[in-house]
Structure 1
Amino acid sequence: MDERALDALEYEFVRGEIARCAQTSLGKARAAAMAPYDERGAAEHELARLDEAIRLLYRLGPPPFAGVEDLRDAVERTRRGGTISADEAHRLARCIAGMRAMRQFVERAAESGNFPLLAGSVAPMADLRRTEQEIRQVVDEDGQVIDHASPTLLRLRDERRRREGEIRAVLDRLLRTQAKYLQEPVIAMRGEHYCLPVRVEHKSQVQGVVRDVSSSGSTVFIEPRAIVELSERVRELEVMEEREVERLLYQLAASFAQVADEFLRNLDVAADMDFLFAKAAYARFTDAKRPQLTDGVWRLRGAWHPKLGRDAVPIDVEIGDRFRLLIITGPNTGGKTVTLKTIGLLTLMAMSGMFLPTRRESEVGFCHDVFVDIGDEQSIEQNLSTFSSHMRRIIDMLARVTKDSLVLLDELGAGTDPAEGSALAIAILDHLTAVGARVVATTHYAELKGYAFRNPAAENASMEFDVETLRPTYRLLMGVPGRSNALAIAERLGMPKAILERARSHVAESDIHVEELIGRLEAASREAELVRDEARRALEEAEERAADLARQQAAWEAAKEAMREKAAREARAVIDRARQEAEAVIREIRSLREQAHVKDHELVELRKRLEGAEPKERRKAPQGQGRPEVRPGQRVRVLSLGQKGDVVEVAPDGKAAVVQLGVMRMKVDARDLEVVGHGEPAGAPSAVRVRAGKDVRMELDVRGETIDDALLRIDKYLDDAVVAGISRVVIIHGKGTGALRNAIRRYLREHPHVKTSEPAGPGEGGDGATVVHVRT
């Protein structure tokens, strides 16, 4: 295909739009390299695949392409015997998983629907799950080599961590014993060395190696002698660890090289599918229709240029059946060039296997070449005029044109003497007609209007112009040549009648009759189009109503079935939860019976859990009652669910509220709420109200509470901390007599959620608080 034609018809714009719809860099690259197919069969096959892709897009959405990326450089490196990094290995595994997910998505869709071409497109993909597993045995999801990748690596890392622990223990001891010599009690890193910041006047008191001096000279950074050997061993272990990691990655790259061809084939299929679904997404965005490829016949119905969008005036154009030559006339800025570009660009899109921006299904002739002469490309370097540059392109075109070509000529013969220009234009059109090519030409020459009347292979068309408003309507009128409109426009603008009469006297009588005839043809054509549009609108309205009724019936049936399934699922879930909770309570009661110290509050809590496990009957709001007033902090029951929760937030209009139901928050209609109590008052002694998820704080204050109340709150707090995934919390109990503190610490040592507990440090309350490490 002639690249000049692609540029002149703005084919690059379509490439860019498709690239924007692609999800991967591979798909974007395919879009940037898109070109029309050379064979009609290939274009029709692509149109059929695109049809399936659009139907799948509407039904299930786009396939997943997460993780799929261009990794050909890393693959080629493995094929040449090179190695890969841990991050590259992770990306290769993620890419394999992403391509497998895409393939499975298409195959599942093909099982439930009619998508044979899509299923055939992904059929050549190889199953590389074993390769992915091999990579995951070495590299984790964060792109790091795991400890268990080899026994040697595990041993080296365990020893390094042990040595580093010894270094930290020595440094902690030195911080305590040498604190009076230090500038501040911290560990400073100088390069790879752990150092103590020692005041310069006491540097002789700390045994070790000076690694650095502060800019003021008041502080020297000394690596203690006690950890020098340990640090050297740690660095030696790090070097050995790096070598082991390099060995593992090299071995992994060698293994991957054996499946490199299969991986690249999968990657090529993934790029093709991303490109295909990008075209499908663009077709859905523009509401495009599938064209039918023909042997040299164009019937575009309601077409518009993609760059103008659906706000453009659609055109109906036909060529190749009754006539092979279409001559379009009309005023400047009336849309002739846009019409020419629309015909050419939509032809290229159809030949590229794309749907077209048209109101209805259209026909496009498949051609081997598209020749274009559009625009004013005056060449300064070659000292060529506008006419000369046009002639050079036309001469080159005439040497290559065949009967399977589409030729688009803008302002044919312009830029020279009108008489010679029109004569040359007619001669060129005669030659193209004799060759058998399909030609669309725009012109201002009146002689070409008559040429179209005389030539049985030609047809006139014009861009409509509204003489009343003196503006073009951008509508294409087939079979009607364009009028000059010069005298009519001058009259509307106020030209004196005497001058107009004198001008009309210079116009040949035959030309006046032709203008009148064209005017009557335009009026008749507009009337016929109005009738046709009314009939089309009536048909479309009837079809839309029928489709809407069918959609409503289908939606009603689906909603009814969904409600039935949802009710059944909810009933089963309530029964299962109740059974599980009851069994858990019974087990705990049996366990407590066997213990000698059973507390009342524990039995009360178990009884509440057993009562709460009973399925509640769904209740409706009482008839005749107004909407209850709910406020943040209130305890409420959600009537439709039969569950209690706390009001977190109330809508400004009071019609809805956000309720915390255990670990879940949901927005509920206020009419579906029943106030059963109030939340904690603002001045409660507790420093925190424990909630699930992100609302669980890092500390709990139980000072001033009884032992039983405090233990009950701590038990609930630890449950919430486990749910929220918090691994370290602080219980503030105060010092006092020590009774509350001792009871809490005894309780924590036996609690199943507690890994370890210890008194808090000086900055966290000292002996008045306990640090708890929670099992998460």
Structure 2
Amino acid sequence: MLERSLRALEYKYIQEQIAQYAMSSLGKRAALSMQPFTQMSDAEVELQAVDESLRCLLRAGGPPFSGITDIRADLQRAKVGGTLSAERLLAVAQLIHGGRQFRQYVQHAAELVEVEHLVQLLERMVDARRTEQEIRSAIDDDAQVLDNASKTLHELRTERRKAEGQVRTVLDRMLRSNQKVLQEPIIAMRGSHFCLPVRVEHKNQVNGIVRDVSASGSTVYIEPQAVVDISNKVRELEILEEREIERILLQLSQTVAVVADELLGNVEVLETVDLWFAKAGYAKALHAKRPTLTEGVWRLYGARHPQLNRDAVPVDVTLGDDYHLLIVTGPNTGGKTVTLKTIGLLTLMAMSGCFLPTERESEIGFCSDIFVDIGDEQSIEQSLSTFSAHMTNIIHMLSAVRKDSLVLLDELGAGTDPAEGSALAIAILNRLCEVGCRVIATTHYAELKGYAFHNPHAMNASMEFDVESLRPTYRLLVGVPGRSNALAIAARLGLPEDILAEAREHVAETDVHVEELIGKLEQARRAAEQAASEAQASREESERLREQWEAKSNRLEAEAEAIRQRAQQEAARVVEQAQQESEKIIRELRQMRSAAGVKDHQLVELRKSLEGLVPEQRAGKRASASSTKSKLTVGARVRVISLGQKGDIVEVSGDGSTAMVQLGLMRMKVGASDIEVLQEKQQEQTVRHTRKGVAKDIRMELDVRGETVEEAIRRIDKYLDDAVVSGLPRVVIIHGKGTGALRNAVRRHLQHHPQVKSSVPGGQGEGDDGVTVVTVRM
């Protein structure tokens, strides 16, 4: 990639920003030296690795990089036989420890997210734990060689400390015994010598070596002879100690040299990983999205320049698909150059494996080179004008550009006569179109607007400008050329109308028509945007209503299904109760079969008939309305298809569309399409009551005369149940007058019976007080 293009697009800013998110000097150095990849496959792998690192940051937090530094120079020195200082050996141990901590972090992160690339990179690392332990056993965290680094060092330091203690003891004794000759009772250090501050007139009273004299000459600093002998021994021990430390450091350096190559590999891995996580941290801060690399096609959605980020107006750009050349026009300070730099810098970032500050996932065409001509390139040293500097750059560009290059040209053809500049710009664009590269060019020339209309590989675009507020909106409008707006701006600022009129006369008629055409295009675009916005709002509203309807429909279906289930369960419970009662009655009938003349097979059939009362499960599909061929009439025996229950019609609507059906103890209104007629109404005074396909005659009265109270009440309960099911509104209980015991017991029982609405004695012609007329509760 050309260094000039990287500088013009301010690529260094991205390097510095990513370096701030690096956690070690390795990552910072890698970020500052980062370059775009030359192969698309390498860039794609980098994007995948940064994606993994970002997911690790979000799920597992940042990796541990404390204490990791660049030790490559130390490893090279150890390999050639050099001796490393204690500080550098400690740095080697810290890197080994940091690498092991990072391995543990990745193993933990692998349980939360998929980390394929991180795991593959870890396979290249070596855990030199033994080397770290040897260094730690000899050097502490303050980079000081420990006493127990060797037996000899321990003995030397013990002896030296003992000798130093003797020096202190001798000096303390002399301080106490020579206070009269001392200037003050202290021990003074002169270099490495322990001295007493003796008054000059008493210097001969202290046996020793004069090491210094005060500035006034009144004090002589004497090292006592008794101390000199001990101090010499201390210095000899210090020299031996330094030699032993050198030997220990050399031995540790040789240990490091054995694993130097493996540790160099660890350094490279940690450097790469730190850069991945730095890119991920920068992407997290910018809320950036992962781009998709393509072969020469750009689709940017809501792109922002990283330096402006949320303060920038998002830009939507498409290039390389339907057209290869985009010509951007518009007023100065309208954002053309920023748009150009945004596209170029985001392309460099994607090629470097970085996420992009876009509103959603975008596509970037991978380039072999990016050629840039932006800004004032005038060179005073070379005595070149602005135009000459631009031409020199473009000439070099034309000699090196290829089909898979991206060319960014700012103010193409500017700096010279407009007629010649526009002609030269068109010629340059034609050459670039012949090469087939992707080009984005900004210009003020009206001729280039027409060029884009006639060139099938080119497209006009403009930076929107609000004439009412006299401010640019910084929005890029693809497909619409920009207007000059000079006369409109002058009029808004208050330029006299006569001057404006004269200016309009000097404007070529074709230019006026072009401006009017562009104005109409802008109006049409705004109308289209408004219509699209309204259509989007309507679509969102319809989607919301559809979702509400679906939710309500699903809820109603669930409620209906729950009601059907409860009805079936209730019906099954009623049938089970009826079966139990029928078994009891059958047992009693068998006891009386000889008197009643009932055959065994008839009793069996009655019992089997109860099995049909269990409600049928709902079928997968409802029967169609055509299955109800007979006309609905009151008293007809029917089946409610949706419930699988059988009952009798007690009421029919005027139009015949619905009917009230008696289903056991329950009445419900049912649509005609949900009713299947099983048996037409019987033309008899008695009602045909069907239970599970077996008919039984229910008379309008029940005679219990001559029975005991218990037997009579049991028969009355059964009779009233059958009357309710059969839909008889009024029945008569014949109990006779007699002594009144049976009559009174029956009437007391009827007063509290749940199926009885009211009960009164019979009237004249009905049996008088020997019967009770019952109104059944329906």
Specify the alignment match of 1:103 in structure 2. 103
CA contact (8 A) 2:186 2:196 kept: yes
Specify the alignment match of 2:466 in structure 1. 466
Paired letter, 1:88: R
Paired letter, 1:27: G
CA apart distance, 1:233: 1.0
Deviations 1:380-404 (A, max 9, x none): 3333322222222212111221211
Specify the alignment match of 2:61 in structure 1. 61
Return the alpha-carbon distance in structure 2 between the equivalents of residues 542 and 129 of structure 1.
Answer: 66
CA contact (8 A) 1:197 1:220 kept: yes
Paired letter, 1:139: I
CA apart distance, 1:453: 0.9
CA contact (8 A) 1:477 1:525 kept: no
In structure 2, the CA distance between the partners of 1:495 and 1:124, relative to structure 1 (3 Å rule), is same
Return the alpha-carbon distance in structure 1 between the equivalents of residues 191 and 21 of structure 2.
Answer: 48
CA apart distance, 1:48: 0.6
> Secondary structure of the residue that 2:462 maps to in structure 1?
strand
Return the alpha-carbon distance in structure 1 between the equivalents of residues 374 and 537 of structure 2.
Answer: 36
Return the alpha-carbon distance in structure 2 between the equivalents of residues 354 and 527 of structure 1.
Answer: 38
Paired letter, 2:461: A
CA apart distance, 1:206: 2.5
CA contact (8 A) 1:325 1:459 kept: yes
1:87 and 2:87 aligned: yes
Return the alpha-carbon distance in structure 2 between the equivalents of residues 78 and 218 of structure 1.
Answer: 55
Specify the alignment match of 2:161 in structure 1. 161
CA apart distance, 1:180: 2.7
Specify the alignment match of 1:177 in structure 2. 177
CA contact (8 A) 2:153 2:241 kept: yes
Specify the alignment match of 2:523 in structure 1. 523
Aligned positions of 1:166-245 closer than 5 A: 166-245=166-245
1:446 and 2:446 aligned: yes
CA apart distance, 1:73: 2.1
Paired letter, 2:328: I
> Secondary structure of the residue that 1:447 maps to in structure 2?
helix
> Secondary structure of the residue that 1:23 maps to in structure 2?
coil
Paired letter, 2:214: S
Return the alpha-carbon distance in structure 2 between the equivalents of residues 455 and 188 of structure 1.
Answer: 94
Return the alpha-carbon distance in structure 1 between the equivalents of residues 392 and 537 of structure 2.
Answer: 47
CA contact (8 A) 1:110 1:118 kept: no
CA apart distance, 1:511: 3.0
1:150 and 2:150 aligned: yes
In structure 2, the CA distance between the partners of 1:429 and 1:61, relative to structure 1 (3 Å rule), is same
Return the alpha-carbon distance in structure 2 between the equivalents of residues 342 and 115 of structure 1.
Answer: 31
In structure 2, the CA distance between the partners of 1:215 and 1:384, relative to structure 1 (3 Å rule), is closer
Scaled by the length of structure 2, what TM-score is found? 0.67
In structure 2, the CA distance between the partners of 1:207 and 1:453, relative to structure 1 (3 Å rule), is same
In structure 2, the CA distance between the partners of 1:20 and 1:529, relative to structure 1 (3 Å rule), is farther
Paired letter, 2:412: L
Aligned positions of 1:380-529 closer than 5 A: 380-529=380-529
CA contact (8 A) 2:99 2:127 kept: no
Specify the alignment match of 1:250 in structure 2. 250
CA apart distance, 1:284: 1.2
Return the alpha-carbon distance in structure 2 between the equivalents of residues 287 and 401 of structure 1.
Answer: 34
In structure 2, the CA distance between the partners of 1:489 and 1:112, relative to structure 1 (3 Å rule), is closer
Question: Comparing 36-45 with 97-106, which one deviates more in the overlay?
Answer: 97-106
In structure 2, the CA distance between the partners of 1:424 and 1:512, relative to structure 1 (3 Å rule), is same
Count, aligned residues: 543
CA apart distance, 1:45: 0.6
> Secondary structure of the residue that 2:463 maps to in structure 1?
strand
CA apart distance, 1:407: 0.8
Return the alpha-carbon distance in structure 1 between the equivalents of residues 532 and 199 of structure 2.
Answer: 98
CA contact (8 A) 2:38 2:368 kept: yes
Specify the alignment match of 2:617 in structure 1. none
Return the alpha-carbon distance in structure 1 between the equivalents of residues 535 and 210 of structure 2.
Answer: 96
CA contact (8 A) 2:59 2:112 kept: no
Aligned positions of 1:240-389 closer than 5 A: 240-389=240-389
CA apart distance, 1:540: 11
Return the alpha-carbon distance in structure 1 between the equivalents of residues 223 and 273 of structure 2.
Answer: 60
Identity %: 64
> Secondary structure of the residue that 1:111 maps to in structure 2?
coil
In structure 2, the CA distance between the partners of 1:380 and 1:221, relative to structure 1 (3 Å rule), is closer
> Secondary structure of the residue that 2:317 maps to in structure 1?
strand
Deviations 1:205-262 (A, max 9, x none): 3232222222222222222222222111111111111111111111111121111111
Specify the alignment match of 1:21 in structure 2. 21
Return the alpha-carbon distance in structure 2 between the equivalents of residues 530 and 291 of structure 1.
Answer: 30
Scaled by the length of structure 1, what TM-score is found? 0.67
Question: Comparing 195-204 with 43-52, which one deviates more in the overlay?
Answer: 195-204
Question: Comparing 93-102 with 530-539, which one deviates more in the overlay?
Answer: 530-539
> Secondary structure of the residue that 2:293 maps to in structure 1?
strand
In structure 2, the CA distance between the partners of 1:528 and 1:102, relative to structure 1 (3 Å rule), is farther
In structure 2, the CA distance between the partners of 1:59 and 1:533, relative to structure 1 (3 Å rule), is farther
Deviations 1:118-173 (A, max 9, x none): 22222211111111111112211111111111111111111111111222222222
Deviations 1:544-578 (A, max 9, x none): xxxxxxxxxxxxxxxxxxxxxxxxxxxxxxxxxxx
Return the alpha-carbon distance in structure 2 between the equivalents of residues 501 and 211 of structure 1.
Answer: 102
Paired letter, 2:58: Y
Paired letter, 1:51: D
CA contact (8 A) 1:300 1:318 kept: yes
Return the alpha-carbon distance in structure 1 between the equivalents of residues 542 and 45 of structure 2.
Answer: 33
In structure 2, the CA distance between the partners of 1:211 and 1:379, relative to structure 1 (3 Å rule), is closer
CA apart distance, 1:539: 11
Return the alpha-carbon distance in structure 1 between the equivalents of residues 212 and 351 of structure 2.
Answer: 72
CA apart distance, 1:282: 1.1
Return the alpha-carbon distance in structure 1 between the equivalents of residues 296 and 387 of structure 2.
Answer: 30
Question: Comparing 478-487 with 198-207, which one deviates more in the overlay?
Answer: 198-207
Paired letter, 1:129: R
Deviations 1:342-364 (A, max 9, x none): 11111111111100111111111
Specify the alignment match of 2:748 in structure 1. none
CA apart distance, 1:43: 0.5
> Secondary structure of the residue that 2:111 maps to in structure 1?
helix
Return the alpha-carbon distance in structure 1 between the equivalents of residues 107 and 276 of structure 2.
Answer: 16
Paired letter, 1:110: A
In structure 2, the CA distance between the partners of 1:538 and 1:227, relative to structure 1 (3 Å rule), is farther
Paired letter, 1:47: L
Return the alpha-carbon distance in structure 1 between the equivalents of residues 233 and 505 of structure 2.
Answer: 111
Return the alpha-carbon distance in structure 1 between the equivalents of residues 8 and 407 of structure 2.
Answer: 13
Paired letter, 2:219: T
CA contact (8 A) 2:60 2:112 kept: no
> Secondary structure of the residue that 1:70 maps to in structure 2?
coil
In structure 2, the CA distance between the partners of 1:311 and 1:3, relative to structure 1 (3 Å rule), is same
Return the alpha-carbon distance in structure 2 between the equivalents of residues 140 and 109 of structure 1.
Answer: 32
Paired letter, 1:167: V
Question: Comparing 236-245 with 174-183, which one deviates more in the overlay?
Answer: 174-183
Specify the alignment match of 1:618 in structure 2. none
Specify the alignment match of 1:557 in structure 2. none
In structure 2, the CA distance between the partners of 1:380 and 1:214, relative to structure 1 (3 Å rule), is closer
> Secondary structure of the residue that 2:468 maps to in structure 1?
coil
CA contact (8 A) 2:306 2:357 kept: yes
Return the alpha-carbon distance in structure 1 between the equivalents of residues 541 and 10 of structure 2.
Answer: 35
CA apart distance, 1:300: 0.9
Aligned CA RMSD, in angstroms, stands at 2.2
Aligned positions of 1:657-676 closer than 5 A: none
CA contact (8 A) 2:55 2:113 kept: no
Aligned positions of 1:112-123 closer than 5 A: 112-123=112-123
Specify the alignment match of 1:47 in structure 2. 47
Aligned positions of 1:617-636 closer than 5 A: none
Paired letter, 1:81: G
Return the alpha-carbon distance in structure 2 between the equivalents of residues 156 and 145 of structure 1.
Answer: 13
> Secondary structure of the residue that 1:269 maps to in structure 2?
helix
In structure 2, the CA distance between the partners of 1:6 and 1:89, relative to structure 1 (3 Å rule), is same
Deviations 1:684-718 (A, max 9, x none): xxxxxxxxxxxxxxxxxxxxxxxxxxxxxxxxxxx
